[in-house]
Every structure is written in structure tokens, then in C-alpha cells.
Chain A
């Protein structure tokens, strides 16, 4: 079972920041937070991951709370192409445990 809780859906105006929350209150010390997204009818796409520090790449920023029980994925300037299902996944950094996808958040970017 997925170890995360996400809202089922969110809307965001085009050009505004999209802030997608994720709750992972049972996260262990060696577990990372991963974010993937899936645009309709395509394979999931890796976005970003982090342990406890905030992370940023060309796609998004990941803010993890100090107690690590929740995080927020930020798309700074959402476009229509960012409309997708976003998955927050908790997993140990190494080892062979597969990714467990929950239901994710369906983000709709509106013009």
C-alpha cells in the first residue's frame, strides 16, 4: 500500500505556481520522497526526489518539512502541458523495493 496521502484533484491557473501537497507521516529515516507525473496516456515521468533538504531542478522544487512528515511539490509557472496526475512516493534510497504508486493528484491547469 502507498505510504502517502494526496488530494485527489487540484486546479491551477496558467502562469501561477502549482503547489501539490503530500502527507507521509510514517516516513522512516532512510526513506526519500519521490515525485512522478503521468500525462494522459503516457508513461510516468520522474520529476524530483529529496531526503530532508529542499531540492530544485529545471522542472520543479520540492519542499520537505523539518519533521519530514509532509512535502510540497512546486511547479513555479504552471502551463497547460503540466496538466497530469502527480504521484508522491516514499521509498528507501537504495535496495530493490519497487515504487508503489498511489492514486496521486490530478492537476488541471486552466487557461
Chain B
């Protein structure tokens, strides 16, 4: 099976712009989660989607949003970018049933200038 894929891998944006990141889960996985990783805060949970519905959200401002499509692919959007949004954004997928074995993608490295 192909792993979790994320596009783009690297991105440079300017403050105030918005950005959309994409994630394709492992085939058959219906749950997609997003995490932000920074040197200062570590890995932090953003949100989780299942069957096109957000069912869990971390403690991030409303500028961070996401969605999931019927084929389980997911996108996350960050509006009005700030310098502090520079981070590695990781997507993870898992099967709905059973244990929390999440499989992570390689991440998108976002730099805000």
C-alpha cells in the first residue's frame, strides 16, 4: 500500500497570505488528522476528520481550518498567515476501528516571511 502523501513538501508564503495544504491518506483509512510541529511547541494536534466531518479540534485559532472529501483526502487551510505559523505540518491517517495506530506523511514545511 502507498503511504500517506502530502503536497506540497515545501512552501514559502508572505505574512497575510493564505495557504492550502493537501493530504492523501492510506487507501482504506477514513480518518485523517493534522498536526503542527515547531521547535518550541513540539507536535501539536490541529484537528481530525472522519467521513467528511470534523470530530476533534485542538487549541488553534479559527484561521486554521480543514475539510475532508468523500474519497478521504483532506486539505487544511491557514488564512492571514503569521510568522509564527512557520512549521512542519503533518498529516496522519488511521483505520476507524481499533487502536490508534496512526501513519504519518512526510509533512509540508511552511515558511512564512
A29: B residues at CB distance < 8 A: none
Closest to B88 in A: A41
Number of interface residues of B (CB under 8 A): 24
Q: A42-B106, A49-B101 are in contact. Are A99 and B90 (CB under 8 A)?
A: no
Interface of A is mostly: loop
Whole-angstrom distance between the alpha carbons of A20 and B57 in the complex? Answer: 31
Number of interface residues of A (CB under 8 A): 22
Q: A43-B90, A44-B43, A103-B42 are in contact. Are A98 and B101 (CB under 8 A)?
A: no
Whole-angstrom distance between the alpha carbons of A44 and B92 in the complex? Answer: 9
Give 27 A-B contacts (CB < 8 Å), ordered by A residue: A34-B101, A36-B102, A41-B88, A41-B107, A43-B4, A43-B92, A43-B107, A44-B43, A44-B90, A44-B102, A46-B101, A49-B99, A49-B100, A49-B101, A93-B99, A94-B98, A94-B99, A96-B55, A96-B56, A98-B33, A99-B45, A99-B100, A99-B102, A101-B43, A101-B44, A102-B42, A103-B42
